[in-house]
Structure 1
Amino acid sequence: MKPTLIRTIISLLFGLLVACIALLATLHQVVEGIDGAKHPASASRIEKIVALVEAYQNDKHTLPDSLYDVSQRNVDDPWGNPLVYEVKEGHYHIASFGADGKPGGVGVDADVTSDNLHSDVIALPLSDVIHRPEAQGVVITAGVSGVLSALLCFGVVRPTALPKSSTRGVILQITLLLLAVSILASFITALHVPSGH
């Protein structure tokens, strides 16, 4: 294989790896800014309503007909949709259907119910996060960091400049360069995380 082709492949893989590291290092901050606080707020609101329903049931020995029987306010979820209250065979169920207001869903559309108040089903899929407008600055910055890192790697790492027996030298160069560039790229990408204000 030609030395230039080897350098190009190594550089492209290096750039891709740096872009992925920078993106993954900052993605959790982006996720927290994308309706992330609304699911815990919804769970907290449902938890308070559950306490009110149970107090009503203990006091009146029956379940309320609607949530308005126990609270005149806070019967909507953080997205402005009404909480769903259902009674079947003496058991009740309270739910928020997430950002879309429809049953089911993942990510910001995931349901929060009185049965799964502290569930981890709210995690956003990676594809949802990177396509959100709030994440575009981070994605672009990580990509630019990857391209610049690939160019830097192509210019710095020259396997033909080292003796053939020094494969460890090339691996050490690439590892040290990867460490330094990944830290720098992650820092620069973190500066582009939306603050939520």
Structure 2
Amino acid sequence: MEFYPSLFSFTRPSFGIAIAQMTEEHVSEEKAAEKFAWPSSLGWRLLIAIIFGCLMAVLPALIAWQKQGSSFYNNGYLKGISRGHFRQIYNAVVYRSSPPQTLAELNLPQEILQDGWGRPFQYEYRGTTCTITSYGRDGKPGGSGFDEDLSSDDPDRPTNYEELYRTEDQPTLYQFYFELPTRRVLQGAVITGLISFAMVFSVFSRSKVPDREKQIFLTFFFVTSAALVYGFVIAALHIPTGH
């Protein structure tokens, strides 16, 4: 006799309301999970991974160029020597009543009459004026970075010793990555980008993430931190010190 009332209790309105509430809560949870789900499209995953990988490759490469390019142990030092010798020759010419016809008339040591790469300074005598020129690392007119010309006709030439020795001689981006031994930094940056691409693509391959917001934040934080640390370490280890 007690069985029928129990069976009847399942048909009560309160039970139907409870079922409806449970259904609504389940639907709400599914919608919330979908809201914080990773992109499931292969195209989106590839796009995000490529963007992240490129950033992780470009950032360490640019930082290495900015931080280490000006202090590159060989050519930057030689260009500094050129500026020092240039200034001594320029002062010797200016202090004379008239320009010499040749630099030999200045009676300066032979090494002073050469730039940092061991080439004689070019000297052009024009009666009341003259021009002193160094063609830089490549020994040819024009160029930038280490190949930049140093000329007394240049209005931006160093005007005093303080400016002379505070000037940072920066190679061009192309020279830093393709002509100098520092080109190994580019290889490290590319490897960093590829690893970052693989990590991000792997993480985004999951359709759902438990603990939604926290898991998303922690995953992004981990991937970003690991990629940046790896990039900086690779850049530091592959930059020649000059010792």
- 1:47 CA drift (Å): 0.7
TM-score (norm 1): 0.81
Task: Pick one of 186, 189, 194 that aligns with 2:235.
Answer: 189
- 1:135 CA drift (Å): 2.2
1:66 paired with 2:66, answer no
Q: What runs of 5+ residues in structure 1 fail to find an aligned partner?
A: none
- 1:175 CA drift (Å): 5.8
Higher relative contact order (CA 8 A, sep 6+): 1
Indicate the residue corresponding to 1:8 in structure 2.
Answer: 46
- 1:16 CA drift (Å): 1.2
Change (3 A) 1:159 1:117: farther
Alpha-carbon contact 1:107-1:121 (below 8 Å) kept: no
Indicate the residue corresponding to 1:132 in structure 2.
Answer: 179
Alpha-carbon contact 2:46-2:201 (below 8 Å) kept: yes
- 1:64 CA drift (Å): 1.6
Larger radius of gyration: 2
2:208 corresponds to which letter in structure 1?
A
2:86 corresponds to which letter in structure 1?
I
Deviates more, 1:108-117 or 1:26-35: 26-35
Indicate the residue corresponding to 1:18 in structure 2.
Answer: 56
Alpha-carbon contact 1:3-1:160 (below 8 Å) kept: no
Distance 2:220 2:204 in 1: 7
Residue correspondence of structure 1 range 76-155 to structure 2 within 5 A: 76-114=114-152, 115=154, 116-118=156-158, 123-155=170-202
Please, what is the CA RMSD of the aligned residues? 2.9
- 1:53 CA drift (Å): 1.7
Cα deviations by residue, 1:62-89 (Å, 9 ceiling, x for unpaired): 2222111111321011111110122224
Alpha-carbon contact 1:157-1:170 (below 8 Å) kept: no
TM-score (norm 2): 0.67
Indicate the residue corresponding to 2:25 in structure 1.
Answer: none
- Partner SS for 1:187: helix
Distance 1:93 1:21 in 2: 42
1:47 paired with 2:87, answer yes
- In the alignment of these two chains, the number of paired residues is 191
Alpha-carbon contact 1:39-1:112 (below 8 Å) kept: no
